[in-house]
Amino acid sequence: MTSTIAAIATAPGNGGIGIIRVSGKDAIEIVNRIFLSKKEGFSLLNVESHTIHYGHIYDGDELVDEVLVSVFIAPRSFTAENVIEINCHGGVFVINRILALVLKNGARAAEPGEFTKRAFLNGRIDLSQAEAVIDIINAKNEFSLKNSLKHLNGSVHRMIIEMREKIIHETAFIEAALDDPEHYDIDEHTDELVENINSIKYGIEKIIKNYNNSRIMKDGINTLIVGKPNVGKSSLLNALSGRDRAIVTDIAGTTRDIIEETVSLDGINLNLIDTAGIRDTIDTVEKIGVDKAISCIEEADMILFLIDKSVPVDDNDRKIAKIIDINKTILLYNKSDKEPYDNDYEFLDEFDSITLSAKNEEGLDILSEKIKNMFFTNKISYDEEIYLTNARQKEMIDNAYLSITHVIESIEGMMPEDFWTIDLMNAYTYLGSVIGIDLSDDLVDRVFSEFCMGK
Ligand SMILES: Nc1nc2c(ncn2[C@@H]2O[C@H](COP(=O)(O)OP(=O)(O)OP(=O)(O)O)[C@@H](O)[C@H]2O)c(=O)[nH]1
Ligand SMILES: [Mg+2]
């Protein structure tokens, strides 16, 4: 880990300012070779940490750009190494030229994620924090960004460390009791053990539950638009997305396939999914679409269920009302601009509903409000601090959960104590791997190669 690495840290192609980041033992020396300040006798080698310097980058005698250079001296930097950031005026050409100069003067091009990897290997951050950096880079919306920042504070880390401490404590007690039964009585301790294990199990459950919510925040709410044919589903998709995304006609059975469109409501991403109108049909193609629509119902985070107020309700409406989960559904009485048909809506009483006109775009603001409320109050709690940010962590925490469940089963099934400790230690290892303890290099490499260059 002695080489000095460099990369462009800002998004490619962005105008304005570009940043080239250099990290490693020789970082300051390398940049000092190409940086000139107007100040008499100035050298970057003599400056203090956390200072910024104005000057110019030169390629030999040729002026390349006017820059600001920030200096962070080891270990007080992100990577815990000497770090220099060159803020230049940007333009793809200039940034690349400065990077090339830095490389020519002794640095090597950083691999994707190498800066963060160094921070991890130098003990500056744990793996779950490192993964949160990936999420900051990729964050799709502001809530997601907020969560990523929170995660960097290490709340998952703290919680897992505590669980691991408890596990070690319990394991040690069991081992001690096996070795020295005269002094340690396991039977007397069993109740407390079960209580502790259950609290760990509860903690893991909480983390798993929040993982699903964090997926929603990052990737958006999968919002399914369902209803029988011709109720105005595609019209609603178009109205919410502000463009003619789906074909709208007065012919029932227009939409045959799944149509997706992402819209943003005050920072919450909705993945709107328009589907084929659900009805019994003998048309082969339409039937495939109907089956697809039905199969999406289960997985949707939220359902917008449309009823056409201007026509009689029928068995198709009733069937849909039966197969959707009322808790994640908003019922929309559409076509409010038309003369309403005198229907008995008793079978829909339980649904949370609003009336609107997709065609005239009336009532959409109330719908937005309702979606947001649903998201904020019923489904997601934003104050919740504990989130996992990716699938690898999820897999490990699932494994930990399984191991803990086995411990409880072994205790209840009066299995020999050896069985308890095996599963306890498995849980301990899995929890550790969520936050990057005891990882094989292979895994470290895999995780870090997901990072963008320069981060
Ligand atoms: N008056 C009125 N007409 C509407 C409204 N919403 C949709 N329509 C009309 O209803 C017809 C069907 O609209 P679509 O959006 O294609 O309905 P759909 O539910 O997607 O229909 P399928 O794809 O066939 O299942 C079209 O003629 C729309 O213009 C509305 O709020 N008011
Ligand atoms: Mg349609």
Flag whether pLDDT at 174 surpasses 80.
yes
Rounded distance from Cα 337 to ligand 1 centre (Å): 12
Contact, 343 vs 301, CB < 8 A? no
Q: What is the pLDDT of residue 306?
A: 98
Rounded distance from Cα 126 to ligand 2 centre (Å): 48
Residue 303 CA to residue 275 CA, distance in Å, equals 11
State whether the beta carbon of 225 lies less than 6 angstroms from ligand 1.
Answer: no
- Mean pLDDT is lowest, of 78-92, 305-319, 347-361, for 78-92
Residue 124 CA to residue 121 CA, distance in Å, equals 7
In the predicted model, what is the mean pLDDT of the chain? 82
Tell which residue, 126, 212, 130, has the closest CA to residue 161.
Answer: 126
Site to substitute for ligand 1 among 235, 244, 306, 366, most atoms within 8 A of C-beta? 235
Q: What is the pLDDT of residue 157?
A: 77
> What's the mean pLDDT in 48-53?
93
Flag whether pLDDT at 389 surpasses 60.
no
State whether the beta carbon of 148 lies less than 6 angstroms from ligand 1.
Answer: no
Q: What is the pLDDT of residue 153?
A: 47
**What are 332-381's pLDDT values in tens digits?**
999 999 999 999 999 999 999 999 999 999 999 899 888 877 765 444 33
Identity (one letter) of the amino acid at 340?
P
Q: What is the pLDDT of residue 144?
A: 52
State whether the beta carbon of 227 lies less than 6 angstroms from ligand 1.
Answer: yes
State whether the beta carbon of 334 lies less than 6 angstroms from ligand 1.
Answer: yes
Residue 82 CA to residue 130 CA, distance in Å, equals 19
Flag whether pLDDT at 14 surpasses 50.
no
